[in-house]
């Protein structure tokens, strides 16, 4: 009996030893990283570099990536490295040494194969390799490369007149450095670069300068320099741009050739001369508008070098002005006229019907008034005539409309708020369509007296100003709606309690948050209490209740109290305003064998066999007694 007992214990010991081996042997051995190098290891955008390596597994080809994001070997492209450029695939490594050579690529202008497009600039970059065909894109080797940034500037305008606004941008200067901008050596602006050595949208007004090329120079405190060329072009100003024959016209100019004579012509007739200064400018030249028919004419200024510029001037005949030019029926309108015959009866008509009369003064001008007749809302002609000269102007009979209640920055509206849009003066029998930020939301018929009324609820939209438009296809009215933009309160976490051991299908609970625009919640679970992007294991958005239960594929892996999960939650209202993140909760989940399911099943099977063998032996032993 003792020998049989010893045999059973030996079988049990061997089985337990084999089970231990299964538990400690990994399913797939980790592949040793190869040695990767780049030659040269620094250069500028566009430079050609070679990638070569040694000690790689000779049974694979390798994909090569270029990125600014730093990641260790065994991290993954697209998971840990999000912005990158794929630059090539290696040939098979030399089977005797696992080496490869001959992979060349030019330093790219941007990284466009990852999550977003990112411009390449000065700084440290990384070359990564992954096994060709490896869907996980696990990084097998890494090498560093330094991109040498070259300061550069851009101008939104390369040529223009004195006084034009040019926006200047720059990159790859020293970080957080004072930047001095000069035009032809004269300082015109001082700005400060950001942490990347960049600046943008710096407005420069083109200073007084002669016709031709000028240098825009940008230099930082480390003496990094970039330049660009701006070409100044000639330009003139004419005041006024219209008038009657005999009115004085004033002309001045900039950007012509320096210290040169200029001529001023009206309709090809020379009416003035001047000389430019050392910066190509000339002062005022004054002359009288010649006695010519009403119409448009060119005023041309030319210098001795053939540089010229022109502007139009209009000689006016009889003129008519209305104030206002748009109003509702019954509104009083003031009428003024000029250029008519002296001391003549002036007849004023509205839509071909006489509506008022007046007498011109000794300069041919007059003043009168009339009330807008009751007519359909559209545009009509108002005419004035002295029997010889005629003038006309457009007048629009207006519609009226509004929204209720009105909103403002001090009294904004909210999502779900009921608004009424109503109006009068629209085309009877028509249909008015109401839109919110360009999206139709309501329609209403126009009654026989030209009125309409439409009611709608404000849909979820961002905080701030929004446009409400009412139109019948002919008449359009626009109103501003101010949406509240106050962030909702921060929710208070309730469950799981701090430090507890939770189920894999964990239940989360937090206090309700109230907001006039309604709320949803965003829940994050991470392995790092600071919640960096790489540590987040679950993020749920748009949760409509103040609770959530993890089920199915979302179930959390088991972790210990020494390496717990962390969670927090925030509220998002209907205007997309977000609360602060709640306080951070901490919890662990279940128990982990540290074994694969297959290994666990093997151990359970062995245990079952051992128990069966033990009870068989025990039964035999009992039979002997």
pLDDT digits (tens, 9 = 90+) for 313-352: 987 778 899 999 998 777 899 999 987 777 889 999 999 9
Same fold, 319-397 and 493-589: yes
CB 234, CB 209: distance < 8 Å: no
Q: 493-589, what's its fold? A: Immunoglobulin-like (2.60.40)
**Interior/surface letters 425-440, b for 16+ CB within 10 angstroms, e for the rest:** bbbeebebbbbbeeee
pLDDT for the residue 10: 54
Please state, in angstroms and rounded to a whole number, the distance separating the CA atoms of residues 29 and 551.
32
Q: How confident is the model at residue 611 (pLDDT cuts 50, 70, 90)?
A: confident
pLDDT for the residue 595: 45
Dihedral angle over CA of 554, 560, 563, 568, nearest 10: 50
23 has pLDDT over 80: no
Q: 319-397: which CATH number, 2.60.40.1930, 2.60.40.10, 3.40.50.2300, 2.40.10.10?
A: 2.60.40.1930
What is the residue whose two structure tokens read 């010519």? 292
Q: pLDDT tens digits for 27-63?
A: 333 444 689 999 999 999 999 999 999 889 888 999 9
pLDDT for the residue 618: 67
486-492-498 Cα angle (round to 5): 150
**Residue 439 in tokens:** 């999206």
**Which one is predicted more confidently, 114 or 504?**
114
Secondary structure E strands in 375-498: 379-385, 390-397, 400-404, 418-424, 431-436, 439-445, 452-457, 464-471, 476-483, 493-495
Q: pLDDT tens digits for 354-411?
A: 999 999 887 778 999 999 886 777 899 999 998 877 899 999 987 878 899 999 988 8
| CATH number for the domain running over 235-315 | 2.60.40.1930
pLDDT for the residue 265: 96
CB 491, CB 579: distance < 8 Å: yes
Rg (CA), the chain: 41
pLDDT for the residue 616: 66
pLDDT for the residue 443: 94
Please state, in angstroms and rounded to a whole number, the distance separating the CA atoms of residues 109 and 149.
11
Q: How many angstroms separate the Cα of 66 from the Cα of each of 49, 111, 130, 361, 529?
A: 12, 8, 12, 82, 31
Q: β-strands 248-254, 282-288: how paired?
A: antiparallel
Total length of the chain:
625
Cα–chain center distance at 141: 36
- The predicted model scores a pTM of 0.43
| CATH number for the domain running over 35-147 | 2.60.40.230
Average pLDDT value for the chain:
87
For the chain, the structural domain boundaries read: 1-27+596-625, 35-147, 152-233, 235-315, 319-397, 400-483, 493-589
Please state, in angstroms and rounded to a whole number, the distance separating the CA atoms of residues 499 and 340.
93
Q: What percent of the chain clears pLDDT 90, i.e. is strictly above it?
A: 60
CB 428, CB 450: distance < 8 Å: yes
**Interior/surface letters 490-519, b for 16+ CB within 10 angstroms, e for the rest:** bbebeebeeeeebeeebebebeebebbbbb
**Interior/surface letters 190-226, b for 16+ CB within 10 angstroms, e for the rest:** ebebeeebebeebebebeebbbeebebbbbbeeebeb
- Dihedral over Cα of 159, 163, 168, 173: its sign: positive
Q: DSSP state, 280?
A: S
Please state, in angstroms and rounded to a whole number, the distance separating the CA atoms of residues 440 and 476.
14
Q: 152-233, what's its fold? A: Immunoglobulin-like (2.60.40)
pLDDT for the residue 34: 84
599 has pLDDT over 70: no
Q: β-strands 464-471, 431-436: how paired?
A: antiparallel
593 has pLDDT over 60: no
Please state, in angstroms and rounded to a whole number, the distance separating the CA atoms of residues 575 and 251.
54
244 has pLDDT over 70: no
Identify the CATH class of 400-483: mainly beta
């Amino acid at each position: 009996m003792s020998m049989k007992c010893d045999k059973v214990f030996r079988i049990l010991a061997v089985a337990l030893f084999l089970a231990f081996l299964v538990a400690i042997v990994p399913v797939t051995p980790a592949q040793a990283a190869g040695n990767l190098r780049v030659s040269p290891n620094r250069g500028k955008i566009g430079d050609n570099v070679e990638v070569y390596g040694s000690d790689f597994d000779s049974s694979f080809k390798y994909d090569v990536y270029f990125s600014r994001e730093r990641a260790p070997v065994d991290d993954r492209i697209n998971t840990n490295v999000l912005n990158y450029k794929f630059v090539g695939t290696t040939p098979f490594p030399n089977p005797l040494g696992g080496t490869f050579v001959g992979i060349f690529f030019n330093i790219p202008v941007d990284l466009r194969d990852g999550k977003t497009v990112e411009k390449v600039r000065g700084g440290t970059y990384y070359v990564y390799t992954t096994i060709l065909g490896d869907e996980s894109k696990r990084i097998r080797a890494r090498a560093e490369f330094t991109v040498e940034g070259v300061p550069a500037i851009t101008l939104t305008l390369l040529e223009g007149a004195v006084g034009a606004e040019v926006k200047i941008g720059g990159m790859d200067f020293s970080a957080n450095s004072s930047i001095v901008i000069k035009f032809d050596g004269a300082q015109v602006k001082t700005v400060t670069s950001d942490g990347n050595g960049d600046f943008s949208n710096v407005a420069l007004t083109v200073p007084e300068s002669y016709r031709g090329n000028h240098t825009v120079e940008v230099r930082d405190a480390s003496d990094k320099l970039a330049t660009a060329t701006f070409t100044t072009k000639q330009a003139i100003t004419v005041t006024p741009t219209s008038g009657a024959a005999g009115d004085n016209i004033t002309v001045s100019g900039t950007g012509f050739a320096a210290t040169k004579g200029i001529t001023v012509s009206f309709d090809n007739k020379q009416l003035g001369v001047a000389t430019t200064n050392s910066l190509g400018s000339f002062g005022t030249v004054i002359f009288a508008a010649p006695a010519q028919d009403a119409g448009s004419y060119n005023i041309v200024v030319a210098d001795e070098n053939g540089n010229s510029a022109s502007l139009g001037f209009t000689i006016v005949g009889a003129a008519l002005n209305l104030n206002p030019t748009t109003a509702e029926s019954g509104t009083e309108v003031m009428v003024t006229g000029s250029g008519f015959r002296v001391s003549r009866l002036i007849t004023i008509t509205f839509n071909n019907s006489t509506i008022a009369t007046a007498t011109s003064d000794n300069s041919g001008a007059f003043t009168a008034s009339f009330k807008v007749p009751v007519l359909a809302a559209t545009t009509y002609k108002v005419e004035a005539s002295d029997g010889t000269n005629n003038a006309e102007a457009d007048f629009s009979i207006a519609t009226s409309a509004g929204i209720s209640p009105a909103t403002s920055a001090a009294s904004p509206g909210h999502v779900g708020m009921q608004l009424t849009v109503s109006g009068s003066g629209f085309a009877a029998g028509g249909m008015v369509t109401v839109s919110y930020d360009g999206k139709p939301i309501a329609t209403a018929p126009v009654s026989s007296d030209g009125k309409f009324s439409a009611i709608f609820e404000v849909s979820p939209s961002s905080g701030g100003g929004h446009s409400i438009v009412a139109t019948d296809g002919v008449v359009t009215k626009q109103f501003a709606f101010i949406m509240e933009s106050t962030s909702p309160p921060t929710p208070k976490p309730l469950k799981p309690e701090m430090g507890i051991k939770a189920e894999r299908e964990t239940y989360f609970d937090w206090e309700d948050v109230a907001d006039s625009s309604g709320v949803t919640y965003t829940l994050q679970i991470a392995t790092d209490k600071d919640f960096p992007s790489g540590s987040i294991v679950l993020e749920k958005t748009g949760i409509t209740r103040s609770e959530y239960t993890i089920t199915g594929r979302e179930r959390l892996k088991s972790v210990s109290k020494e390496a717990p999960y962390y969670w927090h939650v925030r509220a998002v209202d209907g205007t997309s305003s977000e609360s602060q993140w709640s306080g951070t909760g901490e919890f662990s989940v279940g128990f982990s064998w540290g074994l694969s399911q297959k290994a666990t099943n093997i151990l359970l099977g062995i245990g079952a066999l051992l128990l069966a063998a033990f009870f068989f032996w025990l039964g035999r032993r009992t039979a002997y007694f």
